[in-house]
Amino acid sequence: MVKKIMFNQIGYIDTMPKTAYFTGSADSFQIVRAKGGKTVFSGIPGDPVYDAASGDSVSMIDFSGLEECGDFYIKTGIKHSHVFTISPAPYHKLKLSLLKGLYFNRCSALDRRYAGEYSHDECHSSLVPLFENRSVKIDVSGGWHDSGGYGKYTVCTCVASGHLLYAYSLFPDRFSDSSDIPESGNGVPDILNECRVGLEWLLKMQTRDGGVYHKVAPMTATPIIMPENDHTERYVFPRSHQAATCFCAVMSLASRVYAEFDGEFSAKLHEASINAWIWLMNNPDYRPFVNPPTTIISAAGDFFDNNNDDDMFWAVCELYQTTGDETFHNIIKELCAKTKITGFLNRDNGGFGVLSYIFGNRPKDDFVEQTMRSQFRVRADNLYALGKQSGYGTAKSEDDYIRGSNMYSMTDSMLLIAAYKIFGCGYYLDMAYEQLGYVLGKNPMGFCFVTGMGSDSVKRPHHRPSEADDIDEPVPGLLVCGPNKRSQDKFTQWNIPSEEAPAKCYYDIVYSFSTNEATIYCNSAAVFVAAFFDSR
């Protein structure tokens, strides 16, 4: 008897592979039209496969041969799934919802005309003291609240902006419609309207000599309250190499993208990028950012990066594309041979540099290009192999279910999409599609990890406005971080058994910040993936 059916709760593209999974046993399955109850496809499930990451014995339902569009459900014996859609563009609403999720995280007043019942008053608009000199206060208002709390982090904003800018650069035709934000209809695509919110905040984080502050955060935990009620003392934390390098990269990239729409803003971004580069050249000895010893890490938040080569690689690739200066090309040649350049993450972001170089128009060096292609191919092949070994088609090993596992699924999907565009291999495309399906319900938990989407989605994310606003449903369009075998919060330590399978180390509750937190860089990576598959 079938115990549970796991399927893509948003839907399937009519011309792409269509699979679902179940635990238990069944001799056959049917795809049934929701209206009228007519069976339109029948098949025999695959043999059960043991999935080590979940501990499940799982069988695949493959109905790829069904290209009829409409609303359907899966039936096996007396068990049936919720309704899903097959259409040419099932991810259109998802793409817009994920993009709108960033709007809901803006550090500003949210107007009821655009935010509806999730509107709130102005927040965090007062001047903030420098941590190192508290007599000096500066304006760091605006931007996005980074995650479940109200901190704002330079590197995270740079990476999120990179996801958005490359989504637009690589497939601009996916962004012609409105996401219903205040700037909609101003002649600029809404993905760039939203990205500008992050970029304008980043500009406030740069000092006159080109250095860039690392973050704005409190030193004590913020209560679960609405942003306008948060008066926790915050500080502007010291400048860092990592912040300056990522800032330099994304400003250079953004200067090219916005040149078509706002020449003055583009020039401002380019100048900021060059100033950051000058600061880096004047401060060549890399020092990783370290929180001051008096800081409560869980309050101020952060991640630590002992190697700046990938950040520097991203920066020089963008500067080379923007300026054509061979000085930057020579540094690319030096770094590409010794640097991991396949990531789109806060601590591992060299993949952005590859997108810049491979898809850019500047002259290319054969060795550099082949090195980039080789690294991408090896990583894409490894992900494909992991997906084929998994009972759920998930490109993860048991050890990959760590904090932010859903973010890794989306950035892995980004790499597979880029590999598909570079090499033209259809199996990379199919594996990227499987990773999107994973976060939308084809996972051992059977959850759609995006709030407000699907038939069984996250209800209580670690996201303060969602918990504090007295509204039953959470803020929509937020992708949470997902299963994490390391149990890095008290709730999961007390409530998830230590022997639980890695892919099931998840709890849908606000107290589980290590599994259920919503972050801007989860959303932005998912925007990239959903946009690519929109209108395939």
The kind and range of the H/E element at 289 are: none
Give domain 2-87's CATH architecture. Sandwich (2.60)
**Whether the predicted pLDDT of 536 surpasses 80:** no
* Mean pLDDT (whole number) for 82-88: 97
Alpha-carbon span 511 to 467, nearest angstrom: 10
Query: Coil, strand, or helix at residue 264?
Result: helix
- What would the pLDDT profile of 238-261 be if each residue is shown by its tens digit? 999 999 999 999 999 999 999 999
Q: State the residue for tokens 């800081």.
A: 295
Tokens of 223: 């209560």
Whether 2-87 and 92-445+516-533 share one fold: the answer is no
Structure confidence at residue 298 (pLDDT): 47
User: In sequence order, which ranges of 3-147 are alpha helices (DSSP H)?
Assistant: 92-104, 112-115
Domain definitions of the chain by residue range: 2-87, 92-445+516-533
Structure confidence at residue 295 (pLDDT): 58
Query: Coil, strand, or helix at residue 412?
Result: helix
**Whether the predicted pLDDT of 57 surpasses 50:** yes
* Mean pLDDT (whole number) for 468-480: 97
Structure confidence at residue 149 (pLDDT): 86
Tokens of 417: 């999409």
Structure confidence at residue 301 (pLDDT): 56
| Residue type at 483 in one-letter notation | P
**Whether the predicted pLDDT of 305 surpasses 90:** no
Alpha-carbon span 195 to 421, nearest angstrom: 24
- What is this structure's pTM? 0.97
> Which of 110, 66, 80, 72 has its CA nearest to residue 4?
80
**Whether the predicted pLDDT of 494 surpasses 80:** yes
Name, in order, each residue with C-beta under 8 angstroms of 189's C-beta and a sequence gap of 6 or more: 168, 172, 175, 176
How many Cβ atoms are within 10 Å of 281's Cβ, its own excluded?
9
Pairing of the two strands 56-62 and 19-24: antiparallel
Computed over its alpha carbons, how large is the radius of gyration of the chain? 23
Give domain 92-445+516-533's CATH architecture. Alpha/alpha barrel (1.50)
Helix, strand, coil percentages (3-state) for the chain, rounded to 5, are 45, 15, 45
**Whether the predicted pLDDT of 67 surpasses 50:** yes
- What would the pLDDT profile of 361-401 be if each residue is shown by its tens digit? 999 999 999 999 999 999 999 999 999 999 999 999 999 99
User: In sequence order, which ranges of 424-534 are alpha helices (DSSP H)?
Assistant: 426-439, 464-468, 490-495, 513-516, 520-533
**Whether the predicted pLDDT of 152 surpasses 90:** yes
